[in-house]
Amino acid sequence: MFERGHFINGRETPGISGRYSEIMDPTKGVAQGRVALASIDEVDAAVASAVAAFPSWSSVNPQRRARVMFKFKDLLEKDMENLARLISAEHGKVLADARGDVQRGLEVIEFACGIPHLQKGEYTESAGTGIDVYSMRQPLGVGVGITPFNFPAMIPMWMFGVAIACGNTFICKPSERDPSAPLRLAELLLEAGAPEGVLNVLNGDKEAVEALIAHRDVSAVSFVGSSDIAQSIYSACAARGKRVQAFGGAKNHLIVLPDADLENAANQLIGGAFGSAGERCMATPVAVPVGDDTAEKLIDLLKPRIEKLKIGHPFDDDSDVGPLVSRQHLDRVRGYIDMGVREGADLVVDGREMKLQGHEDGYYLGGSLFDRVTPDMTSYKDEIFGPVLQVVRAPDFETAVRLPSEHQYGNGVAIFTRNGAAAREFAARVNVGMVGVNIPIPVPLSFYSFGGWKRSGFGDTNQHGSEGVRFWTKMKTVTQRWPNDVMESSYAMPIMD
């Protein structure tokens, strides 16, 4: 049994609250360690550390901040395998997927290395007679990131990489289910040259989250999690005048037109729906074949692929899918499969009874496939967040556009087709924030921005890319004149002639 504490002011510190949460081994269903849950005093200590570090860090020129990011990137690449194993051991995702978790976070660090250019303002000479106008982007202060269990490396780096590069200091409150990777990231950033207090990691539960949101010295909050909590955090931060972005759940659709390469579509659906056991906000848990003929052919291709999925230990290189993250989540996903059956959907592949030999108490679940799911079913309306693929048949293109557009979530959507005109029209019309064309998981690259619509995202700016720089900075505009002579008073509104 191991124990994890916090990372405050440049060092890992044990918890003092006396409260702990178990860190489970999802392959065995037993505790492998415990993590301290922060008290209010520890929240105050983390914020105080970040506040103390802000004046000097924000005054470091952007070239030097970029050099820290370059060094951090180098250390991440060298520590990739260690980080991946930490993630797999606590989350349960297979090693290949865990490496991808680190890699997609590392790409945002690469983007943040360009902060000298990204944080530049604008300048207009002689905007008026003898008047110059320029703008500058300045850091906000102390930022907080509240991150989910499913990407314990990527999402923290999406948040703190840009925030810290912009000159802010940061407190990461990761999921208590898999806290080891964020703590390791803090160690590596310190080794890369970031001063003590620039990045703090505070483990905790609702008590810590509420204290961070309410803290007067916290300037901005970024959150990823369920939609109900995202909306609550958005409202709480907005009421306190804090800048906030809060990303929630998803129910991403993959549209398959009759002209699509169905073999390719089936292969991509399998990876999109069942990778990481479906525990991704950008998973593709809904397939929408257009026309019954397309649906029948697609089902025939999907069924044997799902039945052949290799469910296994995350450290086994032959495993396609590992266990779910917890017993509670396993029971929840099974409950949604039961619900789909009760609601009248056709259960083509049933993964509920899957057991891995030697790991019978692990949180394993086989892949499940539903056909003839309808939009009125609760199992369709809700985010299942597990290895369950639902097929909703659409009679025509218009229905295929309408289904994701009218769903409560609007994170991602994909369309598979050989018809460029149809793909272009779909991308323009669909009411969803991120669109893939013949790509099942349309997560934008780091120099673009990530964010969903409707109940998938609350706030006005997205993560990373130029939107991330805007979120973690505030604009200051200076209008200046250096007159040669004393000027007379004027009571008219100044104009720039």
Q: Which domains, and CATH codes, for the chain?
A: 2-248+456-478 (3.40.605.10), 253-437 (3.40.309.10)
Cα dist. 153→100, 101, 348 in Å? 10, 6, 35
68: left (phi over 0), alpha (psi -120 to 50) or beta: alpha
Between 62-78 and 80-91, two packed helices, what is the crossing angle to 10 degrees?
Answer: 70
Q: Answer yes or no: is pLDDT of 493 > 80.
A: no
290-316 residue pLDDT tens: 999 999 999 999 999 999 999 999 999
Q: What's the length of the chain?
A: 497
Under DSSP, the state recorded for 34 is E
384-417 residue pLDDT tens: 999 999 999 999 999 999 999 999 999 999 999 9
228-286 residue pLDDT tens: 999 999 999 999 999 999 999 999 999 999 999 999 999 999 999 999 999 999 999 99
**Per-residue pLDDT, 27:** 97
Beta-strand relationship, 412-416 and 409-410: unpaired
User: Could you confirm whether 172 is annotated as catalytic?
Assistant: no
Which percentage of the chain shows pLDDT scores above 90? 95
| pTM recorded for the entire structure | 0.95
Q: Answer yes or no: is pLDDT of 497 > 80.
A: no
Q: Which long-range contacts (CB under 8 A, 24 or more apart) does 417-424 make?
A: 417/255, 417/256, 417/257, 417/259, 417/260, 418/259, 418/260, 418/261, 419/257, 419/259, 422/257, 422/397
**Per-residue pLDDT, 488:** 80
24-67 residue pLDDT tens: 999 999 999 999 999 999 999 999 999 999 999 999 999 999 99
Q: What is the mean pLDDT of the chain?
A: 96
The token duo for 237 is: 């931060």
Query: Shortest CA distance to 407 belongs to which of 286, 272, 289?
Result: 286
Query: Rg of the Cα trace of the chain?
Result: 24
Instruction: Please list, in sequence order, all residues whose beta carbon lies within 8 angstroms of the beta carbon of residue 425, skipping any fewer than 6 positions away.
Output: none
Instruction: Please list, in sequence order, all residues whose beta carbon lies within 8 angstroms of the beta carbon of residue 358, skipping any fewer than 6 positions away.
Output: none
Catalytic residue among 113, 172, 237, 281: 281
